[in-house]
């Protein structure tokens, strides 16, 4: 209770942990939001912060491995997916620190907006309650461990997660017919919501592909013969605009063949550029009119999408700061892959 912002940090850390399981921004927003939003709202946390922290932190699902968009980028550009995964670790941790730091500063500036914490618990009682987290930690370790050990693909790991969750629920005595049906219906509703959003995005992707607008814009940027930094600035604007209308994977698929030659000509490391693209796409995920995270959170809360977008503005700016940091200090991205070797 002494940490400024208190339970708002649960959104950030929860999204960071779940991102290491899902690889998807929308799934992270839906899963974590389903658990945290009702509880934070019940405790009286301000709407703009509980929604904003979730929208911003859920974008970590695109960066922290195993990231689906990094897999697509790696295949499209013939980069090592393992090196891309390890390259996303430090930038992901940096964004977690930035988000948490903002929550702390905001809470110190608006102390009246944060509900009071409960009474401090004795150490013995804290340790006793911590034991309840052991099944959850075992579930996380089981899912993440199956992926990083090579036993299962991310899709297979999802099935492993379901089986482990059912087993742990049975073992702890919380698995009943009612709780099983309730969980099944909740998962179905969330999955259907995301599926409809993806279906709409797929239709828009096909339409944009037929118009040729993404490739025309990319070709036009290439014809400007910009310096490396000017090129990165132009591509930042380009990817944000494209991400306002397309999902991140579609942006990568539609533009990679045109963008990569100019990146190589400018002497920019394709591995570093992959992380750059993902962070820019993260920014687009919380930018209207078609920011995926905005729609997911609107579906969970019923809050108007413009209010969700407004609450996400500080986190959009934090992502922009993170982008500037990796441009100035590219070693944040490249140091771990270089230690990893080929």
Ordered DSSP codes for 92-152: HHHHHHHHHHHHHHHHHH-GGGSPPP-PPPPHHHHHHHHGGGHHHHHHHHHHHHHHHTTSS
Please say whether the beta carbons of 268 and 228 come within 8 A.
yes
Q: Between these two residues, 190 and 157, which has the higher pLDDT value?
A: 157
Token pair listed for 265: 């000509």
Q: Is the pLDDT of residue 34 over 80?
A: yes
Tokens 């940096």 sit on residue = 94
Q: Is the pLDDT of residue 321 over 90?
A: yes
pLDDT for 64 equals 86
Band of residue 118 on the pLDDT scale cut at 50, 70, 90: low
Domain count of the fold of the chain: 1
Asked, for residue 2, whether it belongs to a domain, the answer is no
CA distances from 53 to 62, 98, 132, 159, 295 (A): 16, 11, 25, 28, 15
Write out pLDDT tens, residues 148-180.
677 877 667 778 888 888 888 888 788 888 888
DSSP annotation of 329 reads -
Token pair listed for 102: 């903002």
pLDDT for 194 equals 61
Q: Is the peptide bond before 289 cis (omega within 30 degrees of 0)?
A: yes
Q: Is the pLDDT of residue 331 over 80?
A: yes
Q: Is the pLDDT of residue 119 over 90?
A: no
Euclidean distance between CA atoms 144 and 18, whole angstroms: 10
pLDDT for 317 equals 95
Band of residue 1 on the pLDDT scale cut at 50, 70, 90: low
Asked, for residue 165, whether it belongs to a domain, the answer is yes
| Beta strand spans in the chain (E) | none
Band of residue 255 on the pLDDT scale cut at 50, 70, 90: confident
Euclidean distance between CA atoms 172 and 132, whole angstroms: 10
Question: Residue 302 burial (CB < 10 Å; 0-12/13-18/19+)?
Answer: exposed
pLDDT for 75 equals 82
Asked, for residue 151, whether it belongs to a domain, the answer is yes
pLDDT for 122 equals 73
pLDDT for 302 equals 86
Write out pLDDT tens, residues 78-99.
888 888 988 999 999 999 999 9
Average pLDDT over residues 23-32: 83
pLDDT for 94 equals 96
Asked, for residue 74, whether it belongs to a domain, the answer is yes
Band of residue 190 on the pLDDT scale cut at 50, 70, 90: low
Band of residue 332 on the pLDDT scale cut at 50, 70, 90: very high
Please say whether the beta carbons of 279 and 326 come within 8 A.
yes
Write out pLDDT tens, residues 106-116.
999 998 888 87
Asked, for residue 64, whether it belongs to a domain, the answer is yes
pLDDT for 30 equals 85
pLDDT for 174 equals 80
Asked, for residue 3, whether it belongs to a domain, the answer is no
Please say whether the beta carbons of 103 and 53 come within 8 A.
yes
Asked, for residue 114, whether it belongs to a domain, the answer is yes
Q: Between these two residues, 271 and 180, which has the higher pLDDT value?
A: 271
DSSP annotation of 225 reads -
Asked, for residue 140, whether it belongs to a domain, the answer is yes
Considering the entire predicted model, what is its pTM?
Answer: 0.80
pLDDT for 342 equals 56
- Domain holding 111, by residue range, is 8-340
Q: Which of 297, 323, 252 is nearest to 26 (CA)?
A: 297
């Amino acid at each position: 209770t002494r940490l400024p912002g208190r339970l708002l940090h649960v959104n950030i850390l929860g999204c960071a942990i779940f991102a290491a399981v899902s690889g998807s921004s929308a799934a992270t927003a839906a899963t974590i939001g389903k658990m945290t939003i009702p509880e934070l709202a019940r405790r009286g946390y301000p709407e703009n912060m509980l929604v904003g922290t979730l929208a911003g932190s859920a974008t970590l699902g695109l960066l922290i491995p195993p990231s689906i968009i990094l897999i697509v980028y790696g295949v499209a550009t013939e980069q090592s997916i393992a090196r891309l995964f390890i390259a996303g670790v430090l930038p992901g941790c940096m964004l977690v620190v930035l988000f948490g730091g903002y929550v702390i500063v905001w809470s110190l500036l608006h102390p009246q907006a944060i509900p009071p914490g409960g009474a401090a618990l004795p150490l013995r009682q804290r340790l006793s309650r911590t034991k309840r987290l052991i099944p959850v930690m075992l579930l996380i370790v089981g899912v993440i461990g199956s992926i990083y050990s090579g036993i299962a693909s991310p899709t297979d790991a999802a099935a492993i997660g379901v089986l482990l969750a059912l087993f742990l629920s049975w073992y702890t005595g919380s698995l009943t017919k009612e709780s099983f049906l309730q969980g099944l219906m909740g998962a179905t509703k969330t999955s259907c919501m995301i599926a409809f959003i993806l279906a709409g995005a797929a239709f828009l992707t096909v339409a944009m592909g037929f118009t040729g607008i993404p490739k025309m814009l990319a070709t036009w940027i290439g014809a400007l013969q910009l310096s490396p930094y000017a090129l990165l600035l132009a591509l930042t604007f380009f990817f944000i605009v494209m991400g306002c209308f397309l999902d991140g994977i579609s942006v990568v698929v539609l533009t990679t063949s045109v963008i990569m030659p100019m990146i190589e000509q400018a002497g920019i490391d394709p591995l570093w550029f992959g992380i750059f693209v993902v962070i820019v796409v993260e920014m687009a995920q919380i930018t209207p009119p078609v920011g995926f995270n905005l729609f997911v959170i609107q579906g969970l809360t019923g809050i108007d999408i413009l209010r969700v977008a407004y609450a996400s503005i500080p986190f959009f700016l934090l992502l922009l700061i993170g982008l500037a940091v990796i441009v100035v200090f590219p070693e944040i991205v490249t140091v771990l892959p270089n230690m990893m070797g080929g």
